[in-house]
Amino acid sequence: MITFDQIKKAVLVSVWFMFLTFPIMVIRVNPVERIVEWRWRNMLLIGVGSFILSFVWHYFIRRKELGTQKAEVGGEETIPLAQRILEKKAIYRPTLAVLGICALVFPFIFSLYQTNIMVTALIYVMLGLGLNIVVGLAGLLDLGYVAFYAVGAYAYALLNYHFGLSFWMVLPIGAALGATFGILLGFPVLRLRGDYLAIVTLGFGEIIRIILENWNEFSFGPSGIANIPRPSLLGIDLSVHAATIYIYYIMIGLCLFTIFVVNRLQDSRIGRAWIALREDETACQAMGIDKAKTKLTAFALGATWAGMSGVVFAAKTTFVNPASFTIWESIIILCIVVLGGMGSILGVIAGALVLILMPEYLRAFSEFRMLAFGVLLVVMMVFRPGGLIPNVRRTYKFEGVTETKKG
Amino acid sequence: MDYFLELFLGGLTRGSIYALIALGYTMVYGIIELINFAHGEIYMIGAFTALIVISVLTLMGMNTIAILVIAGVIAVIYSAAYGYTVEKIAYKPLRNAPRLSALISAIGMSLFLQNYVLLAQTSDFLPFPNLIPDFEFMEPYAHIIGSTEIVILITTAIVMVLLTIMIKFTNIGKAMRAASQDKTMSMLVGINVNHVISVTFVVGSATAAIGGVLIASHVGMINFYVGFIAGIKAFVAAVLGGIGSIPGAVLGSFVLGWTESFATGYVSSDYEDVFAFLFLVLILIFRPQGILGRSEKHKL
């Protein structure tokens, strides 16, 4: 199975990586105290690790190539597991019911801490679903998505501070503001293609953050705004515990609403226009789709959800400052969409839960979190670009037609 | 007037550093049409490697000029090696994939390299020794421009000239130009495109490393995050000039350097990064192909 050539290759790879990582991994300097620390053990680890990983890497590359060959020959198309489950109502419905009951009783079984984490995860589900509209459906890589999240959060914080508006009043305002900013960003980037778009949106996100940080009279600068009230239930102020549970249910409700809307959008005229735009801009225009309008609605609708989840975020943490809205936040949300499967609602939900809950429960490895995200993005793109639960194209089956006429 | 001149030269220095990084972006983009997001990180790794080498050699008690040269050479070698490896792992398997995939993979690589340095080294800012001596003949002008700035300007000019010669007159340069025009066609005439792409990454990374060492000794401190911002700025410069065009990248870098220098000097230093991005947005609205770029026509 393993030939001599492969071993030779793996040895070369491991030597190369030992060379490559030598200065950074082995030597650590402290220029202030003029101490040099040599960590030879790391070199050994790198050598052995890259030797093994080289085999794994080549194995998967070969498998992938075999897969594409099979697809080219025209072999049987395998239906993904998730899709098969979705199609069988006998399994699908009870699973959904069990999940629903679990979600409803969650805050009464688990502690406040767990509920809080779950609320965070749900906020990311919503953000992921929102970004999924822009990246997954319309194929516009938006790296400044966190800006809309910040707009929502600051909308609640500032409107409450100056005018005393309540959570429920700001929620639609935050959504509307998100959409407005989405269109505002959309206009200048209408003519740009993928890569330019990524960099301009990234710049937009940074501009919003820098303005929030420096415009002290408006946003109170880096110190942020504290003492934002939690949502009240019918005018009654709740205790911290009750308010967290309340927010949890609000989030469950909002997520269901998001899923419903995104699902309906996907199959609507505008949703199909987005997918067409993602696949081929020129052909899409030739079919009579208004490119500008389609792109703008994608930005606006994507940003709406970010605006809303921003409001919930501000209400949950009762404190906002610009440090919560860095570019890395955008990249984490992008990771959620990519890991789950671009364009797939179920995938994005799974992606958000995995990426947000995992680091919370694996606290010991928390420092490796961003490193792992980086690896994840590369590996997913190379080996499984469709994501964990890939989006399945709607196909039409003609039941009863067994033979196709050949003419 | 002196203030103006100081800002002008400051902008020029800034611009030349951006140019060294922007060249890598624009060369890679010219050939495989991919924003190499990890390029800024390659530059950061170059600076870090140089810092490590300098620290070790200083403890061994070598003289300053020798240290500077050795550290520079090792930084260039390592950055080139990283550039080569990054291409092999993150971009080569995605050569025929949709562009969005390659872009996301590049972002992942950037994230990985940053955190790799963060975990293996430190998150603190490390002081970077200024090894470039103060020249005596520069004394009368010291209030306008320092010796480090002069070295940066001269080095950048030399690198530009060498690069132009390489692209204009050598075989590999010709192959690069051919591959950037039409990859399939150049394969048909016997150019090993994979090899050309590797060389592009190696050359781009090497110039970035030179920029990394120079700016680190200019600013005097580095951490794992310096690459990201510098990378974004350099990319903005490349887009300004017209991505894919090498003179464009240099021009765009100078324009960006001056914009930032004058804007921070005359308006406000709080919004330094905002100016760069605003400028980018304005350019992209009114001239999406950049200052020197050719407008692309899509054929069906």
Which of A13, A14, A18, A29 would best serve as a mutation to test chain B binding (most B beta carbons within 10 A)?
A: A29
Residues in chain A: 407
Task: Give Dmax over CA atoms of chain B in angstroms.
Answer: 64
pLDDT of residue A243: 81
Q: Is A388 helix (H, G, I), strand (E, B) or coil?
A: coil
Q: What is the pLDDT of residues A142-174, one digit of tens each?
A: 888 999 999 999 998 888 888 878 888 888 999
CA atoms within 13 A on the CB side of A310: 36
In chain A, residues under CATH classification 1.10.3470 are: 110-383
Structure tokens at A280: 């081929």
Query: Rounded CA gap, A307 and A301, in Å?
Result: 10
Query: What dihedral angle (degrees, nearest 10) is formed by the CA atoms of B199, B200, B201, B205?
Result: 100
**Chain A residue closest in CA terms to B276:** A203
Q: Do A210 and B49 touch (CB under 8 A)?
A: no
Strand partners, A236: A233
Residues in chain B: 300
* Residue A153, C-beta contacts closer than 8 angstroms, at least 6 positions apart: A310, A311, A313, A314, A320, A324, A325
Query: Rounded CA gap, A158 and A221, in Å?
Result: 13
**Chain B residue closest in CA terms to A32:** B127
Whether the Cβ atoms of residue A229 and residue A318 lie closer than 8 Å to each other: yes
Give ipTM to 2 decimals: 0.84
Q: Which residues of B touch A331 (CB under 8 A)?
A: 107, 111
- Nearest CB partner across the interface for A29, out of B35, B52, B110: B52
Report all structural domains of chain B as residue ranges with CATH numbers, in order of start. 2-286 (1.10.3470)
Full DSSP string of A238-281: PPHHHHHHHHHHHHHHHHHHHHHHHHHHHHSHHHHHHHHHHH-H
Q: Do B236 and A199 touch (CB under 8 A)?
A: yes
Per-residue buried b or exposed e for A375-407, using 16+ beta carbons within 10 Å of the residue's own CB: bbbbbbbbeebbbbbbbbeeeeeeeeeeeeeee
Closest approach of chain B CAs to the CA of A361, in angstroms? 20
Q: Which residues of B touch A367 (CB under 8 A)?
A: 119
- Nearest CB partner across the interface for A374, out of B94, B108, B270: B108
- Nearest CB partner across the interface for B115, out of A28, A29, A374: A374
Q: What is the pLDDT along chain A (407 residues), one digit of tens a residue?
A: 667 888 888 888 888 888 888 888 888 877 667 777 788 888 888 888 888 888 888 888 888 777 766 665 654 455 556 666 666 667 777 777 888 888 777 777 778 888 888 888 999 999 999 999 998 888 888 888 999 999 999 998 888 888 878 888 888 999 999 999 999 888 877 777 667 788 788 888 888 888 888 887 777 877 788 877 777 776 666 677 788 888 888 888 999 999 999 989 888 899 889 988 888 888 888 888 888 889 899 999 999 999 999 999 998 888 888 888 888 888 889 888 888 888 888 888 888 888 888 777 777 677 787 888 888 888 888 888 777 777 776 666 666 655 554 44
* Residue B14, C-beta contacts closer than 8 angstroms, at least 6 positions apart: B256, B257, B260, B261
Looking at domain A110-383, its CATH class is mainly alpha
Closest approach of chain B CAs to the CA of A1, in angstroms? 23
* Residue A351, C-beta contacts closer than 8 angstroms, at least 6 positions apart: A128, A335, A336, A337, A338, A339, A340, A341, A387, A388
pLDDT of residue A85: 64
Whether the Cβ atoms of residue A368 and residue A329 lie closer than 8 Å to each other: no
pLDDT of residue A76: 47
pLDDT of residue A374: 86
- Nearest CB partner across the interface for A371, out of B112, B129, B274: B112
Q: Which residues of A touch B88 (CB under 8 A)?
A: none
Q: Do B104 and A338 touch (CB under 8 A)?
A: yes
Whether the Cβ atoms of residue B288 and residue A191 lie closer than 8 Å to each other: yes
Q: What is the pLDDT along chain B (300 residues), one digit of tens a residue?
A: 778 888 888 888 888 888 988 988 888 888 888 888 889 899 899 998 998 888 888 888 778 788 888 888 999 999 999 999 999 888 888 888 777 788 888 888 998 999 888 888 877 888 887 777 766 666 666 666 777 788 888 888 898 889 889 888 999 989 988 888 888 888 899 889 889 999 999 999 999 999 888 888 888 888 888 888 888 888 888 888 887 778 888 888 998 888 888 888 787 777 777 777 787 777 777 777 777 766 655 544
- State the DSSP code for B125: P
Q: Which residues of B touch A188 (CB under 8 A)?
A: 281, 284-285
